[in-house]
């Protein structure tokens, strides 16, 4: 899930009933009530999502795609087909215009340029079992770990773990 405006979010959906429908569901809050908005069907699995400057970044488990808010694909930015969860979750750093991508098969955190070029790959024992990644507006990067119920902080270029751990 990601926020695209103060009162609108987008969630990823994957139908489990065998019809293979994958997509994005817009949800708006009006008068303290949730209302479904547009649903955009995509041709690939939808695992993670991030929003930046009117664009959506969607992971499929094996690739990162750049989309418009209306669902038009701009470009496949990055792909790693050696495994099923190599491009799992993503977050955009609005300060440095970089994209962080978790690879749970290899226990790594990738830092990508906005064009999909790999800038760095970070690996640490604390990344084993990682699931989520988030970047704050003040340029702080966090990675959550489902296996150990912890959160670690990495530096802004995604190359090293900062001191401390929550959990």
Q: Please state, in angstroms and rounded to a whole number, the distance separating the CA atoms of residues 141 and 134.
A: 6
Q: Residue 16: pLDDT above 90?
A: no
pLDDT per residue over 97-153, tens digit each?
999 999 999 999 999 999 999 999 988 777 787 778 989 888 888 888 777 778 878
pLDDT per residue over 44-80, tens digit each?
999 999 999 999 999 999 999 999 999 999 999 999 9
Give the per-residue pLDDT at 166: 55
Q: How confident is the model at residue 159 (pLDDT cuts 50, 70, 90)?
A: low
Domains of the chain from N-terminus onward: 2-166 (2.130.10.10)
Give the per-residue pLDDT at 154: 82
Residue 123 CB-half CA count within 13 A: 5
**Can you give the three-state secondary structure of 31-44, one letter per residue?**
CCEEEEEEEEEECC
Give the per-residue pLDDT at 73: 96
Are 1 and 18 in contact by the 8 Å Cβ rule? The answer is no
Span of 13-22, 25-34, 36-45, 124-133 with lowest mean pLDDT? 13-22
Are 63 and 76 in contact by the 8 Å Cβ rule? The answer is yes
């Amino acid at each position: 899930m990601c926020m695209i405006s103060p009162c609108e979010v987008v969630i990823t959906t994957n139908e489990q009933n065998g019809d293979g429908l994958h997509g994005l569901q817009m949800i708006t809050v009006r008068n303290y009530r949730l209302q479904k908005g547009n649903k955009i069907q995509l041709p690939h699995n939808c695992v993670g999502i991030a929003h930046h400057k009117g664009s959506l970044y969607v992971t499929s488990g094996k690739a990162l795609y750049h989309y418009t808010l209306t669902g038009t694909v701009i470009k496949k930015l990055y792909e790693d087909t050696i495994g099923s969860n190599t491009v799992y979750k993503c977050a955009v750093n609005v300060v440095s215009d970089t994209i962080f991508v978790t690879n749970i098969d290899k226990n790594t955190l990738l830092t990508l340029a906005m064009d999909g070029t790999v800038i760095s790959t970070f690996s640490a024992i604390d990344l084993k079992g990682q699931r989520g990644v988030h970047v704050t507006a003040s340029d702080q990067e966090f990675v959550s770990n489902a296996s150990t119920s912890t959160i670690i902080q990495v530096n802004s270029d995604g190359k090293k773990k900062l001191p401390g751990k929550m959990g």
